[in-house]
């Protein structure tokens, strides 16, 4: 992707690869079995001490089911910390493009608000187009270890949470352990619904 990347570029690329690998639930050994690279060399790549050829990056991207451009987010700012930790609204990455199901199947699209997928939690912005998705069935939804917190920025959202069907309006918020079965949809046929989330752990397999 770049010629003679500097140490900072290598470290950032390695960190991005490690974050996606962990979010996919892959070990270094599992990933090495899918690409032309040893565990030791993959470890060096993730630590930013080894270069990655375009061919190897293509293999890694395919194995992790992500576009290679994901590993090179647009960063803006006059200082290193600003560039590293601040995400401008026009530079958000399309997180839902990494999911195993399409936006049409899910009924929503997600953008990553956090600067990285590292750490114990991450923030996303979800958009639910009007008239998308079927009414959620009670006790039929997603369930996994972790927790979810969200705020409805606009619109009306319908959520099946365990055995309860709940309507959430603009300004409403919620928190729950994500082991409780849950599923969401836009309750309006005319207006988009927008939510901002904080989730833990990082999960990109939907």
Which residue in this structure is represented by tokens 């962990």?
22
Sequential DSSP letters for 110-168: EEE-SS-S-SS-EEEEEEE-TT-SPPPPTT-SB--SSEEEEEEEESEEEEEETTEEEEE
Model pTM above 0.75? yes
Q: What is the pLDDT of residues 122-181, one digit of tens each?
A: 999 999 999 765 555 655 678 888 999 999 999 999 998 998 999 999 999 999 999 999
pLDDT beyond 90 at 56: yes
When the pLDDT of each residue in the chain is averaged and rounded to a whole number, the result is: 89
Cα gap 203→206, rounded to integer Å: 8
Which residue in this structure is represented by tokens 């992707």?
1
Q: Give the closest residue to 128 by CA, choosing from 73, 170, 100.
A: 170
Q: Which CATH number fits domain 7-72: 1.10.10.10, 1.10.260.40, 1.10.3720.10, 3.40.50.720?
A: 1.10.260.40
Cβ contact 60:13 at 8 Å = no
Cβ contact 32:39 at 8 Å = yes
Domain borders along the chain are 7-72, 89-200
Which residues are registered as beta bridge partners of 94?
A: 111
CA angle at 119 for the pair 9 and 2, rounded to the nearest 5°: 15
CA atoms within a 13 Å half-sphere pointing along the CA-CB vector of 88: 9
pLDDT beyond 70 at 50: yes
Confidence of residue 100 (pLDDT cuts 50, 70, 90): confident
Q: Give the closest residue to 162 by CA, choosing from 188, 142, 182.
A: 182
What's the confidence (pLDDT) of residue 103?
83
pLDDT beyond 50 at 17: yes
Q: Give the closest residue to 156 by CA, choosing from 179, 180, 130.
A: 130
- Write the burial class of residue 105 (CB in 10 Å: 0-12 exposed, 13-18 middle, 19+ buried): exposed
SS (H, E, C) 41-98: HHHHHHHCCCCCCHHHHHHHHHHCCCCHHHHCCCCCCCCHHHHHHCCCHHHCEEHHHH
Architecture of the domain defined by 89-200: Sandwich (2.60)
């Amino acid at each position: 992707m770049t010629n003679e990347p500097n140490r900072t570029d290598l470290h950032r690329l390695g960190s991005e690869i490690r974050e996606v690998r962990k979010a996919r639930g892959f070990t270094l050994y599992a990933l090495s079995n899918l690409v032309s690279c040893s565990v030791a060399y993959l470890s060096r790549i993730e630590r930013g001490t080894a270069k990655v050829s375009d061919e190897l990056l293509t293999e890694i991207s395919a194995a992790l089911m992500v576009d290679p451009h994901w590993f090179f987010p647009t960063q803006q700012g006059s200082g290193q910390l600003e560039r590293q930790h601040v995400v401008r609204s026009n530079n958000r990455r399309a997180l839902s493009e990494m999911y195993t199901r399409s936006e049409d199947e899910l009924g929503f699209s997600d953008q990553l608000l956090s600067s990285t997928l590292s750490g114990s939690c991450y923030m996303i912005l979800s958009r639910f187009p009007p008239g998308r998705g079927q009414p959620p069935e009670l006790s039929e939804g997603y369930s996994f270890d972790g927790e979810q917190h969200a705020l409805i920025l606009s619109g009306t959202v319908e959520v099946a949470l365990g055995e309860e069907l709940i309507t959430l309006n603009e300004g409403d918020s919620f928190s729950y352990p994500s082991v409780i079965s849950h599923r969401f949809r836009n309750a309006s046929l005319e207006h988009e619904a927008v939510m901002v989330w904080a989730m833990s752990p990082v999960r990109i397999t939907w």
